[in-house]
Structure 1
Amino acid sequence: MPNHVTNKVRAPARVLKTLINENGKIDFNTILPFAGQFPWDGISGQAETTAQAITAQPLNEHPLIAGLERRNRAEANVMQLSDECFEQFVQMLRNKRTCGHFHTLDHARDVWGTKWNAYDQVIELDAGELSFDTAWSCPLLVLAELSKRHPDEEITVRYADEDLGSNCGTVKLKAGETVSSEVAGRWDEMSEEQRQQWTSWARDLKGWPEDEEDE
């Protein structure tokens, strides 16, 4: 399971509406849609590994993960794929040629900067704020693109990881560029005072009360 990051985006209502699809949901596809096709609900790991092998994708930067990937790709055999896995494999290759990504999740990680689309949404256009969760990280790539489409307006993004005090802060965007940024540093590089400040800040953003241990 990923860490859930709470995001609160403030901007004029007309700007925020750009992120809302025809069903009234916050949807990153309104800004940066996947240009390929992938009609399956799940992604076959075997199909993806085989596609990565045949297209000579770079290995992970972490040596241990890279070793595992190298071994899996060496054992990949398209002739051993089930019928559905083979169809996914073929479509992944088509997608890679068409738009540079094997499937929707590959696109999300690379283009949106987060694993999934927005969830646990609260839309308050009258208040000029959207609140939603994302997996692992704040979707700053999506929000920078939103900012480019409304270059005269400033967008304020506040986000907080459930790992309180880490991966949190405030970023202001205008015309697609970061105009100010105040974010937590690496946990092991912060002072105890900074850790306490960012932990309190993140708890407040997520609306979590202090537990007995904190007290």
Structure 2
Amino acid sequence: MPNWVTNKVSAPKEVLQSLINAEGRIDFNTLITFAGSFPWNGIDSAAEQCAEVISGQPLNEHPLIASLQQSNRQGANALKLNDEQFEQFVQMLRNKRLTGHFHNMDFANANWGTKWNACDQDPDLEAGTLKFDTAWSCPEPVLKALSAKHPEVEICVVYADEDIGSNCGTLKLKAGEFVSRDESQGWNKMSKAEQEKWQAFAYEVKGWEPEPDDD
């Protein structure tokens, strides 16, 4: 399971409305849309490996990951896939040709900065806030797209990882660019005072009570 990052976006109602779909939910597709199709809930690894081989997908830059990928791809054989796996394989190739990405998760990682859409949502347009969780990171590309669509408005974002005190901070955007960033450093790079500051910040963003050991 990923670490969940809580994000709170503050802006006028008409700005935040740009992230709300027809069902009233926060939806990154309203700003950055996957043009392909992938009607399955899960991604079959065997189908994906076959798609990677036949499309000449480069190996990961990390040597250990590249070694694992290469080992897995050696056994890839599209003719041995079952019917559903084969349909996924074919659709991945269609998507790759059309969009440059095999499936919606591949697209999301590259274009949203997180592998899933907004989770655990709490939109409050009247109050001018959107609160939602994302996997591993703050969805910076989505925020930049929102800001670019409303260039005259300054948007403020606070975010905090469940790894309390790490991967958290405040972002301000205008005209599609970050105009200020106040973010925590790596945990071991911070002084004790900085660690305590960012822990308090993260607990407030998450809406959690401090753990006894953090006192």
Q: TM-score range by the shorter chain?
A: over 0.9
- Equivalenced residues, count: 215
Q: How far off its partner does 1:45 sit?
A: 0.6
The residue that corresponds to 1:162 in the other structure is 162
Query: What letter is aligned with 2:132?
Result: F
Gaps of 5+ in 1: none
The residue that corresponds to 2:139 in the other structure is 139
Query: What letter is aligned with 2:33?
Result: P
The residue that corresponds to 2:21 in the other structure is 21
Q: How far off its partner does 1:64 sit?
A: 1.3
Residue correspondence of structure 1 range 62-211 to structure 2 within 5 A: 62-211=62-211
Query: What letter is aligned with 2:145?
Result: E
Q: Secondary structure of the equivalent of 2:163?
A: coil
Write the distance in 1 (CA, Å) between the matches of 2:147 and 2:35.
21
Residue correspondence of structure 1 range 41-60 to structure 2 within 5 A: 41-60=41-60
| TM-score for the superposition, normalised by structure 2 | 0.97
Query: What letter is aligned with 1:119?
Result: C
Per-residue deviation, residues 21-73 of structure 1 (Å, max 9, x unmatched): 00000000111111001111211111111111111212222221111001111
Q: State the Cα RMSD in Å.
A: 0.9
Write the distance in 2 (CA, Å) between the matches of 1:206 and 1:72.
39
Per-residue deviation, residues 64-108 of structure 1 (Å, max 9, x unmatched): 111100111121111111111111101100100101110011111
Query: What letter is aligned with 1:68?
Result: L
Please state if 1:6 is matched with 2:2: no
Q: Secondary structure of the equivalent of 2:121?
A: strand
Q: Secondary structure of the equivalent of 1:213?
A: helix
| TM-score for the superposition, normalised by structure 1 | 0.97
Runs of 4+ off more than 4 Å = none
Per-residue deviation, residues 96-134 of structure 1 (Å, max 9, x unmatched): 010111001111111100011111111111111100011
Write the distance in 2 (CA, Å) between the matches of 1:16 and 1:124.
9
Deviates more, 1:60-69 or 1:137-146: 60-69
